[in-house]
Amino acid sequence: QRTARASAAPAAMPAEMSAVVALRVRGLSAPAIARALSIPVGPVESRLHRAKTRIMSDCFDGPTRARSRTGSG
């Protein structure tokens, strides 16, 4: 069940996050992803971290709900 949720997670992510995850899964490094998407490395690393957090949460805590920008919701 966790594997199914992890496999479905990228489809439920915003496009900019899923694009970074898709390239990382293909073996690209953060700098290579940044070059491929023409964005700085910082946002790549941030998106990868947020994606990892979301996938782990979905797998172990159930689906995530939309969160407010303040992080309190």
The tens digit of pLDDT for each residue in 2-39 reads 555 555 666 678 899 999 999 999 999 999 999 999 99
Residue with tokens 């303040």: 70
pTM: 0.69
**Residue 4: C-alpha distances to residues 9, 31, 55, 62 (Å):** 9, 29, 11, 12
pLDDT at 72: 46
For residue 66 the two structure tokens come to 């939309």
